Amino acid sequence: MKKFLAAAVLLVLLAAAAGICAYGARSGGSKPSGGLPTLEWESIDAWPENVYTSSVPRPESGTPYSATVCDESAGYFSVAFHAAREQGDEYVALLRSSGFEPLEHADESGASAELLQNGDATVSVAVSDGGFCLMIRLCRA
């Protein structure tokens, strides 16, 4: 569980950094006056259907158990899965075979994180022995 938490924190940091960079590029470098939004999580038991999840392939394995509250104005959505490490790695491979290009990758003992992009969808994936977590960000003009 400790490794999964570390991987999830790395995922959020990668996604926040991508969001800050994207916002800064559009607005001349300043950050929103309210800072970064707080993530609100809710329990789930099935793959959520929304504008974010429609931009990525559905994982073939793993059990979704938690997701951020879907707010299309926020520009991001996260979902966490109970799964074996191999299932998280398989999902990263599925993203790549679906046209997502890797932007960043980090590995630590027992955990990894990857940032991938395809068109206007950027996906951060944190994988560990206890599961994997996705953060999907949509950047539409």
Query: Could you give phi then psi for residue 138, rounded to 5 degrees?
Result: -110, 130
* CA–CA gap between residue 121 and residue 131 (Å, rounded): 22
* Contact criterion met (CB below 8 Å) for 113 and 7: yes
Asked whether residue 33 is domain-assigned, the answer is: no
Q: What is the number of domains present in the chain?
A: 1
pLDDT at 73: 75
Asked whether residue 80 is domain-assigned, the answer is: yes
Asked whether residue 23 is domain-assigned, the answer is: yes
pLDDT at 15: 46
Asked whether residue 120 is domain-assigned, the answer is: yes
pLDDT at 38: 65
Asked whether residue 118 is domain-assigned, the answer is: yes
> H or E element: which one contains 61?
none
- Decide: pTM greater than 0.85: no
pLDDT at 74: 73
Q: Which domain covers residue 42, as residue numbers?
A: 2-28+38-138
The DSSP bridge pattern shows strands 121-128 and 111-118 to be antiparallel
pLDDT in tens, the chain (141 residues): 444 444 454 555 444 433 433 333 333 333 344 555 566 889 999 999 999 999 999 999 999 999 998 777 778 899 999 999 999 999 999 999 999 999 999 998 889 999 999 999 999 999 999 999 999 999 865
Asked whether residue 79 is domain-assigned, the answer is: yes
